[in-house]
Structure 1
Amino acid sequence: MRMLIAIWFGLMIVQDLCAVPEGEKELRAAYQARQKAVWNLKLKPAWSPDGMEMVYKHEKEGGWEFLKVHLKDGKKGRVFDHQAVAKVLEASPDKLPIKALRYGSAGLEMQHKGEWKKLDGEKVPKQQETKSESQSSQQSPDGKWEVRIQDHNVILEPRKGGETRVLTSDGNSDHGYQGVLWAPDSSRFVVWKMKKGQRRMVKMVESSPADQLQPKLHSLRYDKPGDVIDTQAPYVFFTDSRPVLVPDYALLKDPFQVNKLAWRSDSQRLTYEYIERGFGKHYVLEADTEERKHRVLVREESATYIYVWGNGFRHDLNGGSEILWLSERDGWNHLYLLDGKTGGVKKQLTHGNYVVHKVVRVDEEAGEVILIAGGKESGQDPYYKHWYRVDLKTGQMLHLTPAEGTHSVEFSPDGKYYVDSVSEVHRAPRHVLRRAKDAAEVCVLAVCDLEALKQTGWREPQPFVAKDRDGKFDIWGSVEFPDDFDPSKKYPVIENIYAGPHDQHVPKRFRVWNGSTTDLAQRGFIVVRIDGKGTGKRCREFSHFCYKNIADAGFPDRIAWMRAVAKVVPQMDLERVGIYGGSAGGQNSTGALLFHGDFYKVAVSDCGCHDNRMDKIWWNEQWMDWPVGEHYAAQSNVTHAHKLKGKLLLTVGELDRNVDPASTMQVSNALMKAGVDHKLIVVPGGGHGAGEGLYPKWQRIDWFEKHLGSAE
């Protein structure tokens, strides 16, 4: 995420250095007008230490005010005398230049001009950070022993005198020991033994560095599908000279990752997790270091894949006697309570035709969890995020966010109250204070009014649902219209695509401007976004459709959806359909012209992972499996480049560290060899997402305007 933010800011700097087209000035002016026409889009609470009050910034026509609310009864009032503070800050009382409020060492503090101050304007001294005396990870908890890793081998030293023992001699730079985790009773410890893989390095040339004339060569560690990767396994050593307990490698066959070491409180049992290469297996393994045995404690297996990092969750309860575990084993991602000794299911805590998105918090003392799920509320968009509290003993669920829409929640520090913010793409945010005990509404904190926004000409996006290619699943998407939409005209249609299987991608919360989607709508296009089969946050059958099938990208579902929507919105001209996207969306948008060129006529593809063998290992082996087989080449855009129909614009940053820029170059090369006309823009110094920079952005807009035309 930090990298993406850095890239965005870098692109904004480039934009400032470039000549700004008149069209861009118009878009920026429209964006600013929309921003000024709405207030209370977001609400950031500050909770009092005594748990009695909450303060927040409340926006209103002509300015804003700072309010406090009594949590128990919802009574509200101003936090301070705005006139008095305005005099201190030499500002308008209706537009106090206070960025935020917080409860700090000086009581209630305000952020003003980048500094925290008291309400009287006096600067709050910076608090000295206190560093806790954390015990070295290599020193035993009782302080009697210390482990050193020297020349890739393990050495045990008594700290109060005695014989130093060299515990291993087989470690080397390619297969050595590293990291130490002591058992609680200091009688033993575990060390990883790491075996190096090939460690592929991708090299990129920066053609136009800012600090020198000559180009620079950059190297980046970048494992790709099929590469020999680093592997590690846990070895247990004892302080009483017992022989090392080696791993059971039969349980660690073809590992992608072995991690998350944890000792049980008895200092006898050790748990760790294993993910198989290709993601078909995810185990919690247990080593009984007294019995000197390893076993599979929790076994999760799939004929397709297990999306560990997106749909997975594990939390050990009561010292490991029970385990909370997320699994798709019944076809939907649900939360299970497992027996920590047998790994068997004690209780399925959530069940039904809906998906648990995330476990937010586990409160062992209260015996409950807070989680986010989608699809449980009938009649609503299944992607809306709703929050629930689940009792670990009974499985009883309390719905914390009863209003229709997608929700974000912020709890008070003591967990007794929370701010519930809800919106939809076409409905403005509403912020409510609720009581956690029963989800009862205490008071409405703020509402975003859209009347002023409508006066700017804004047209609300419209969510639509239609059936998939087989008429089985609901496909959800949204349509965005030009502000000057004329029902008597036919408009070209552009799809903004991102079909990455790791999530769903159609926006669900309210925004005044949806980035490039709104940019294109303002230029006279009807723009759509769709979550087709193979994308995430749905049932196993729907989402796992992508398995070894990434090139499908749900296109038949997307086309069926657009045809269904066009019956309701006849102004959509399905003879003039374009498509664009970046990264996985770059792969998808080019694929649209390769595999569905009779429907899609124009495409713009930025930084695409056009061949899944060229992209990063962890993302592509997740969906395409391992070993790398013929199915990889069969779904590569390079393999099918000669089939391209329509007009294609490729953009790529020469320093893309997310997707190897050579992937785009190889597609262009294949198109050239096949004699297929296309356009390629390489952005000097550009990283991932360089196609969103000012110049390539307007090349994209011009490309669609030239080849799709305008409203007729």
Structure 2
Amino acid sequence: SAYFSPSGRYFVDTYSTIADAPKTVVRSSDGDLTAKVVEADASALYEAGWAPPERFVAKSADGKYDTYGVILKPTNFDPALSYPVIEQIYAGPQVSFAPQGFTDSLGSRAAYMQALAELGFVIVIQDGRGTPRRSRDFHMAMADEEDSFALIDHVEGVKAAAATRPYMDIDRVGITGLSFGGYASMRAILLFPDFYKAAVSIAGPQDYRTMISSISVERFFGAAPPRGSEGDVYARIDNIHLADRLEGKLLLIAGEIDQNVPFNQTVAICDALIKANKDFDLVLVPGAAHSVGYHPYAMRRVGDFFVRNLQHREPPEPFVP
């Protein structure tokens, strides 16, 4: 981050990487170093056994772009073993998701995924086409496709990472996400059932037409047209009409008082799955809002679900997230 002085002659520059702790310096507007302010000391963190995420680079499915992601491994990692893979996804058009700075590697999201890794998984977090902070062509690459948010890039990203990491078992891949990530994890297992064997969709929109606020996709596709209109994008991007494609294991998690993604979104996909005669699990947390994915009970259920369905064993007792 950079904060300029009122005159514009100087700025405070704070920078880090996923492995290097933040440093804050003052620079002149031409970039010359003026003063060192502070440097975070992460030595105790490393001495305690923490390891930063491992960065990887892949190619988008069309071969045109580099895509970026990170891998998290359990602290007792053994490269001679074979680990099932869990992807944590967001994939929304409004934010990039893969950790880029040091605090991203330590925040609640990374800590949550590290807890899953400790159960014996390799975790992948990545950004594909459709995410911002790149070119417009990158951002809008697949907007007119059934796979509007380029989830195919996530499939190819996991495969690319595993190509040089034989400990990643891509025959046992799961996916999970919260909010737009709940939408994306649901859509991923419906569009790519041969790749994703298990999914946890947490507080996920399933039909953006019926959302109170659809701003995350309205900026991408415009406002929803009347139902049944020719070329209706919102009919194409909802997960409801894909429910009959479910083949893998699915867990839906929702909060009772979620104001961002109301419970009716989960009810709608449940109704579609039941009509398609598909098996799934549902957890509704009373009193929980949109942050339901960080509720201790929900976190335990996520871990238990992936242990049972990707490792094919009973989870440890007790698992305290």
TM-score for both structures, normalised by structure 2? 0.88
Alignment correspondent of 1:544: 140
Find the residue that maps to 1:424 and give its secondary structure.
Answer: coil
Q: Distance in 1 between matches of 2:7 and 2:62?
A: 49
Superposition pairs for residues 296-335 of structure 1, below 5 Å?
none
Alignment correspondent of 2:23: 430
**Deviation at residue 621 of structure 1 after TM alignment:** 2.8
What's the CA shift string for 1:307-331, capped at 9, x where partnerless?
Answer: xxxxxxxxxxxxxxxxxxxxxxxxx
Alignment correspondent of 2:206: 610
Superposition pairs for residues 684-703 of structure 1, below 5 Å?
684-703=286-305
Alignment correspondent of 1:472: 64
The answer as to 2:258 corresponding to 1:656 is yes
Alignment correspondent of 1:517: 113
The answer as to 2:277 corresponding to 1:670 is no
The answer as to 2:14 corresponding to 1:421 is yes
* Match 2:218 to one of 621, 625, 630: 621
Find the residue that maps to 1:537 and give its secondary structure.
Answer: coil
**Deviation at residue 415 of structure 1 after TM alignment:** 4.5
Are the aligned partners of 1:466 and 1:476 in contact in 2 as well (CA < 8 Å)? yes
Find the residue that maps to 2:140 and give its secondary structure.
Answer: helix
Q: Distance in 2 between matches of 1:459 and 1:450?
A: 11
AA aligned to 1:578 is: G
**Deviation at residue 619 of structure 1 after TM alignment:** 3.1
Are the aligned partners of 2:173 and 2:196 in contact in 1 as well (CA < 8 Å)? yes
Alignment correspondent of 2:157: 561
AA aligned to 1:536 is: P
Alignment correspondent of 1:311: none
- Divergent runs of 4+, >6 A: none
Q: Distance in 2 between matches of 1:690 and 1:651?
A: 8
What's the CA shift string for 1:181-230, capped at 9, x where partnerless?
Answer: xxxxxxxxxxxxxxxxxxxxxxxxxxxxxxxxxxxxxxxxxxxxxxxxxx
Find the residue that maps to 1:433 and give its secondary structure.
Answer: strand
Aligned length: 303
Are the aligned partners of 1:548 and 1:625 in contact in 2 as well (CA < 8 Å)? no
Q: Distance in 1 between matches of 2:215 and 2:185?
A: 22
Over aligned residue pairs, what C-alpha RMSD do you find? 2.0
AA aligned to 2:27 is: R
Q: Distance in 2 between matches of 1:551 and 1:663?
A: 20
**Deviation at residue 417 of structure 1 after TM alignment:** 3.3
**Deviation at residue 516 of structure 1 after TM alignment:** 1.9
The answer as to 2:129 corresponding to 1:527 is no
Alignment correspondent of 2:247: 645
**Deviation at residue 545 of structure 1 after TM alignment:** 2.4
**Deviation at residue 710 of structure 1 after TM alignment:** 8.0
**Deviation at residue 482 of structure 1 after TM alignment:** 1.2
Find the residue that maps to 1:708 and give its secondary structure.
Answer: helix
Q: Distance in 1 between matches of 2:256 and 2:144?
A: 29
Find the residue that maps to 1:639 and give its secondary structure.
Answer: helix
Greater helix share, structure number: 2
AA aligned to 1:540 is: R
Alignment correspondent of 1:579: 175
Greater strand share, structure number: 1
Structure 1 stretch 540-549 or stretch 460-469: which is displaced more? 540-549
Find the residue that maps to 1:586 and give its secondary structure.
Answer: helix
* Match 2:45 to one of 443, 448, 453: 453
Alignment correspondent of 2:87: 495
**Deviation at residue 419 of structure 1 after TM alignment:** 2.4
What's the CA shift string for 1:120-155, capped at 9, x where partnerless?
Answer: xxxxxxxxxxxxxxxxxxxxxxxxxxxxxxxxxxxx
Q: Distance in 1 between matches of 2:145 and 2:296?
A: 34
What's the CA shift string for 1:335-374, capped at 9, x where partnerless?
Answer: xxxxxxxxxxxxxxxxxxxxxxxxxxxxxxxxxxxxxxxx
Superposition pairs for residues 288-303 of structure 1, below 5 Å?
none
User: Taking structure 1 as reference, are residues 573 and 417 closer, same or farther at Cα in structure 2, changes over 3 Å only?
Assistant: same
Superposition pairs for residues 135-150 of structure 1, below 5 Å?
none
AA aligned to 2:128 is: G
**Deviation at residue 503 of structure 1 after TM alignment:** 2.2
Q: Distance in 2 between matches of 1:416 and 1:550?
A: 49
**Deviation at residue 416 of structure 1 after TM alignment:** 4.0
**Deviation at residue 444 of structure 1 after TM alignment:** 2.4
Structure 1 stretch 548-557 or stretch 495-504: which is displaced more? 548-557
Are the aligned partners of 2:143 and 2:149 in contact in 1 as well (CA < 8 Å)? no
AA aligned to 1:564 is: A
**Deviation at residue 441 of structure 1 after TM alignment:** 0.8
User: Taking structure 1 as reference, are residues 517 and 656 closer, same or farther at Cα in structure 2, changes over 3 Å only?
Assistant: same
Alignment correspondent of 2:78: 486
**Deviation at residue 541 of structure 1 after TM alignment:** 1.1
